[in-house]
Amino acid sequence: MNRICVYLGSNPGFDPAYAETTRRLAGELVSRGLGLVYGGSDVGLMGLLANTCLGAGGEVIGVIPERLVEKEVAHTGLTQSFVVRSMHERKQKMADLSDGFIALPGGVGTLEEFFEALTWNQLGYHAKPCGLLDVKGYYACLSDHMDRMVSEGFLVPEHRRMVLTSSDPADLLDRFATYDPPHVDKWIEKKKGL
Ligand code: AMP
């Protein structure tokens, strides 16, 4: 693995625990020689992650749509920045540059980006690890809901297990390093014309 894509809030969240884990993830990425790919903004947890990686001597690549350069305060001091035309291009570029995907706490943007990476994985467009950094149980309800998807027959257990979850950045990255992607079909039963 060379680079990890991290999705995270453009807000900092109220609890200092979010910033603390963001800094710890930055330290782990840099100490393992892993570059960071992220949304290119200088605000919220996004800016904190980029600045902490840069401060520790890490590589940081930002990918930001032109419409958001001002709105999200594009970071001007990154190792490399890509200004792209659309959100779709942003997600594709971030995925192409990365060998795995992590979501730290964030809002709907974070979830949207993470779930797209997960759906691409489920459909076989890539086989890169996807993980949730569950600070303070922030993702507990989401994890419960994914269990519900399995129990209600909308998600196969192998794909549920693809979502690696940990509260500890080092543990999550260790599991990324040994990740073995599942080889199952997305459909539990391919029934036509129900
Ligand atoms: P949020 O978690 O809502 O604070 O957003 C975190 C990041 O996700 C920000 O850089 C948003 O611009 C980005 N984002 C929001 N919606 C999308 C989307 N549909 N595609 C790609 N990035 C998005």
Class of domain 3-177: alpha beta
Closest CA to ligand 1's atom 20: 87
Q: What distance in Å separates the CA atoms of residue 25 and residue 82, rounded to the nearest whole number?
A: 23
Which atom belonging to ligand 1 lies closest to the Cα atom of 90? 21
Query: Could you tell me the distance, in angstroms and rounded to a whole number, from the CA of residue 151 to the centre of ligand 1?
Result: 30
Pocket of ligand 1 (CB under 6 A): 9-11, 39, 41, 68, 72, 87, 90-91, 106-110, 112-113
What is the dihedral sign for C-alpha 97, 101, 103, 106? positive
Q: Which residues contact 94 (CB under 8 A, 6 or more apart)?
A: 5, 37, 38, 39, 63, 113
pLDDT at 190: 75
Q: Token pair for residue 191?
A: 């029934």
Closest CA to ligand 1's atom 13: 109
Query: Could you tell me the distance, in angstroms and rounded to a whole number, from the CA of residue 112 to the centre of ligand 1?
Result: 7
pLDDT tens string, the chain, 194 residues long: the values are: 999 999 999 999 999 999 999 999 999 999 999 999 999 999 999 999 999 999 999 999 999 999 999 888 999 999 999 999 999 999 999 999 999 999 999 999 999 999 999 999 999 899 999 999 999 999 999 999 999 999 999 999 999 999 999 999 999 999 999 999 888 777 777 777 77
Query: Could you tell me the distance, in angstroms and rounded to a whole number, from the CA of residue 76 to the centre of ligand 1?
Result: 19
Q: Strand 3-7 relative to strand 101-103: parallel, antiparallel, unpaired?
A: parallel
Global pTM value: 0.95
Closest CA to ligand 1's atom 12: 109
